[in-house]
Amino acid sequence: MNKNKLKMFDLTNQYSKLKPKISTSVQQVLESGQYILGQNVIKFEKNLSKYIGSKYSISCNSGTDALILSLMCLGITREDEVITSPFTYFATAEAITLCGAKPIFIDIDKDSFNINPEKISQAITKKTKAIIIVHIFGQPANMIEIKKICKKFNIKIIEDCAQSIGSKIKSMKTGAFGDFGCFSFFPTKNLGCAGDGGAIVTSNKSFAEKLFKLRNHGGVNRNNHEFIGMNSRLDEIQAAILNVKLKHLDSFNRKRNEIAKLYKRLINNKNIKLPYHSKNNYHVYNLFTLQVKNRDKFCKYLNKNKIPFGIYYPTPLYKQKSLKKICSPKKLPIVEKITKECVSIPMFPELDYDSIKYISNIINKFK
């Protein structure tokens, strides 16, 4: 192991292993002359539906677009409210505001960092039309309780599965619980392409039919625009790459779990809190996130020892400059605490044992 070459993510290693298959698939696309909405996209949508356990899959340009298209499909607009988590990437709330609606932030669970079901009911008003559930870092949210609440109040569920593809509650995969499951295939995700890419899954036929139109300027046929839509299509090259990598996703996720178990066995420091893992959930560890009270000191220590790290997400979304005027919730104590303490360390399927051991040993010496 060369500690100077440690990375937070290593995309080249995975590509080198799959290079022959990926290169062949990409070459076939280039030679076909059909680069948009061709057979590779159709194949990937079928493969993704089968994998998640949904009836339909609609590919699009990104995970952000997947969220926007789902909200558009529901007719979410001005004066509407959408409940979501303040502890996630900006795109989740951005999608809500781009549709003209108001994001309503509620506090998170102190262990899973996902939205706290106990806080949902008190946030619901007559304006509430949907809830976006984020399965943060690959850990499934408590969808059993959340579905009960949403059914009671007739609220639609959009799952933000950008970090959780392949994760499960018992035998059911995230993305299949809600009315919509939204996925990102950004390169660092568990299933990543070589650029931007996204998809929506649903088992509602009318939603699927509308989404196929919305992602293509509002219509499936040229010069026939039933809706005001978007130009949000997954291209054939990215679909070809995803078709290759989807076959390996379960093995990638198993490897992530093996690495997580190693970290949990090797890291033993009373100043460090390790990631929570519910016994009923299959966590896919898009990120391996620690809690450290003195984060600044810890980060300087990691830098000194040449261990890469990431801080996701240091600012609750309601404190972002662009959202302050739109939403001003009461102070949410758990998210205020978590955003000051979270630090993610290297996690990718190809991370070797020597690197894991080195990282763990260094962390164990932190005081």
Q: Using one digit for the tens of pLDDT, what is the confidence trace for 29-43?
A: 999 999 999 999 999
Task: Provide the token pair at 334.
Answer: 């758990």
Cα distance between residue 133 and residue 202, in whole Å: 15
- Section 225-230 average pLDDT: 96
Residue 330's pLDDT is 76
Residue 117's pLDDT is 97
Residue 285's pLDDT is 98
From its phi and psi, is residue 286 left (phi > 0), alpha (psi between -120 and 50) or beta? Answer: alpha
Confidence of residue 3 (pLDDT cuts 50, 70, 90): low
Instruction: Please indicate whether residue 186 or residue 3 has the higher confidence score (pLDDT).
Output: 186
Q: Using one digit for the tens of pLDDT, what is the confidence trace for 90-108?
A: 999 999 999 999 999 999 9
Beta strands 81-84 and 128-134, pairing class: parallel
Confidence of residue 1 (pLDDT cuts 50, 70, 90): low
Q: Is residue 139 within 8 Å of residue 277, measured between CB atoms?
A: yes
Beta strands 168-169 and 156-160, pairing class: unpaired
Cα distance between residue 242 and residue 19, in whole Å: 13
Burial label, 24 (beta-carbon count in 10 A; 0-12, 13-18, 19+) = exposed
pLDDT at residue 109 is higher than 80: yes
Cα distance between residue 228 and residue 213, in whole Å: 9
Residue 5's pLDDT is 81
- Section 287-303 average pLDDT: 97
Instruction: Quickly list DSSP for 149-211.
Output: HHHHHT-EEEEE-TTTTT-EETTEETTSSSSEEEEE--TTSSS--SS--EEEEES-HHHHHHH
Residue 87's pLDDT is 98
Cα distance between residue 214 and residue 42, in whole Å: 17
Q: Is residue 256 within 8 Å of residue 275, measured between CB atoms?
A: no
H-helix segments, 267-330: 295-304, 321-324
- Section 225-237 average pLDDT: 96
The structure tokens 């932030």 sit at 105
Distances (CA, A) of 319 to 52, 159, 291, 344, 351: 34, 23, 21, 21, 35
Residue 324's pLDDT is 86
Q: Using one digit for the tens of pLDDT, what is the confidence trace for 310-343?
A: 999 999 999 999 998 888 777 899 999 999 999 9
How far is the first Cα of the chain from the last one, in angstroms, to the nearest whole number? 25
% of the chain with per-residue pLDDT over 90? 95
Beta strands 102-105 and 81-84, pairing class: parallel
Residue 2's pLDDT is 63
Strand partners, 154: none
Return the minimum-mean-pLDDT range out of 125-134, 203-212, 218-227.
218-227
Domains of the chain are 3-8+248-364 (3.90.1150.10), 11-246 (3.40.640.10)
Strand partners, 364: none
Q: Is residue 121 within 8 Å of residue 148, measured between CB atoms?
A: no
Residue 279's pLDDT is 87
Q: Is residue 266 within 8 Å of residue 357, measured between CB atoms?
A: yes
- Section 66-88 average pLDDT: 97
Whether the pTM exceeds 0.75: the reply is yes
**Residue 276: helix, strand or coil by DSSP?**
coil
Q: Is residue 144 within 8 Å of residue 169, measured between CB atoms?
A: yes
Q: What is the mean pLDDT of the chain?
A: 96
How many residues in total does the chain contain? 367
- Section 152-164 average pLDDT: 98
Residue 19's pLDDT is 97
- Section 277-293 average pLDDT: 95
- Section 6-13 average pLDDT: 94
pLDDT at residue 10 is higher than 90: yes
